[in-house]
Structure 1
Amino acid sequence: MYFIRVERWQHSAFDFLPSPTSTPSSTPKMKKKVLLMGASGSGKTSMRSLIFSNNPASLTARLGATIDVEQNHVRFLGDLVLNLWDCGGQDAFMDSYLTTQKSTIFQQVGVMIYVFDVETREVGKDLEYYRDCLAGLQQFSPDAAIFLLVHKMDLVREPRQPTFDKKKQDLQEASGDADISVFGTSIYDESLYKAWSNIVHTLIPNASILSRHLATFAAACNATEVVLFERTTFLVIATSSSNAASVSETSSGIVELDSKRYERTSELIKAFKHSCSRIREEFRSLELELYDFTAVLDEMTRNTYVMIIVHDPTIEVAALKLNIRLARRKFEELQSDSLVSA
């Protein structure tokens, strides 16, 4: 009976949208400039190493201070290239960015990420530099998205929320009318993945289309939820349900969902991938069959992984993996078409 449902999805579930005309091999590369700024020692390079180089937090202490601007081209989703500018935060460099290099630094920025050390004693100077950077961004890249990270939250004593709330309020006041997003982060827990997943989501063209098709795919699998991850970073690209959803209604009843489920999955899988690399093995897929749910994590496209969560005990893992195989070609086309149409 379940195989019949799979066949019905294969032939009709995606027919309501026109098929993309492009192929993955013909997709032009698209660049997005990401500006990473903040005071020296605030943790910019460490978080970049953890997110994009698959290094564990324990190795970030070996990283030295960034001198001037360090540019990296990070391939994301295959044909989307993040032009990451890691800007040294020493006073001399910051003064240069805001005077002689101002147009170079702040032109054509897609996203600015400003990192604040939660325990810094130079709050006034930090905010002054931030306001100057904000003015430069508004002059040369007024449409850029702005993310503020209150970093090293692991150093704050519990309860941490009041400290973060106070910092967030100060940053909102310093930002004036600018549209900002503020996150509390640490390289030692899942909070960093939550922030960066939100950041890269703004850079993915037509991410809502991927979410809509994931919802169709979830219905075909009778899944509680389906999540699409970028292959290298394991940041969340799209989900079949709203990120804010705390419950899901399935055929087996109402299921409560952990609000930190996405970023925790990213953190755990990245740690598992690192363990695999240490024994010279390549991570390929993961299957979990527990008493209350089943999870399958497998390749969806050349650049993505998909995770399917089901709470229906009658659904076999083999059926979920068959659905993934049937969906691969369609999601390759969707990803390619999304970048072409941007």
Structure 2
Amino acid sequence: MAHMLSLKVAILLSFCSLYANATEITENGYPILWEKSPGQLTELPSVDDVIVINPWNYLQRMSLYKLTLQATDMYMTSMGENATENPLWGLPLQLAWKLKSGRLVDPSGVTTCGKETGDPMCISPKSWWACVNYYLSVIPFLAAVETGIVGQGLKIQIQAPSEASEDYCVSFSDCTSKHPEMMSKWKTFFLALKNLSSADIPQFEKKDQILGFMWEAQQASMHTGSKCKERLKHYSTLEVTFSRSWTKSVDYVAATRLHSNMERSKLFTSPLPSRILREGDKPPNAPGLSSEENHTLSVFTWMDSMNTLLGGTLVQMWQSAMCSERTREKGQALLQDLVLDPKFVFSGLLTILIEMGSSC
């Protein structure tokens, strides 16, 4: 009992201290509270020899990533020797950003779920961001278990939320029944990961294929996240616009087959808005956001507007241009310039894409 109390106090103190720096999404080099998240299935609660995971608790949802990353490291040697080269690192860093920016909090304000004054580790089923992240955390984990990468021989159960439980699947069979394409993509990724790791092909080919399968799975999860749309009613117009462009961003990133290791993922995640956007926020001068965050928000807003203006063809142009390893490398550099270089001229993007596409 005393141990549990001290753990809760430690977590609360860590959580409070993190708010001293609104843009920091890591501590000790890892996603927020990574070290306090269970790293073994046996550390999670169990009932009658069945491990019961509550993904509506931040530490336990983060644990899904921790377990999956640890289990897949052995298959990721083509990415590099360092454990931080695993391309799945982008997912827990995104979850850390959502916690830090208040996007896992109950947006309706009816409960104190996720609030510092309530239960800061609570993830609200009413949160649009938490809902979409469910498909990027629980779903990959279930597929990893199904393919024997995680928890082989153990009985594992996902706990349904106390409300809106009908919106979430909680087992591999349940999720396959409701979202067959998404589950197939994740299962294919993990099976390919196992097979490619021992395949007699060059390392760069392994890497490219693994990244291709991974991003296809992430795209499927993001697109399935459209099921969360009803939850957007609790947010401002600008937050809704940002959420739409954030969702679309995976299509741009996936087309480049970005190696989303720890360093690169942190680079792209850190400048995301550190709070939920309010009515009246106007990038690049939204109050309370850093210049980097305002710039990133401007990029997302511009790309969303341009894609809408072009009838959705900006995404298609981008995807068509990423037709080879060479153009994908250019695409990755272009993404970095877009997000990180305030001097980048947005209007020049179309010309660049047309030139890149002509070489395909």
Q: Name the structure with the higher strand share.
A: 1
What TM-score do the two structures reach when normalised by structure 2? 0.29
Structure possessing the higher relative contact order (Cα contacts under 8 Å, 6 or more residues apart): 1
Q: Name the structure with the higher helix share.
A: 2
What TM-score do the two structures reach when normalised by structure 1? 0.30
Q: Which has the larger radius of gyration?
A: 1
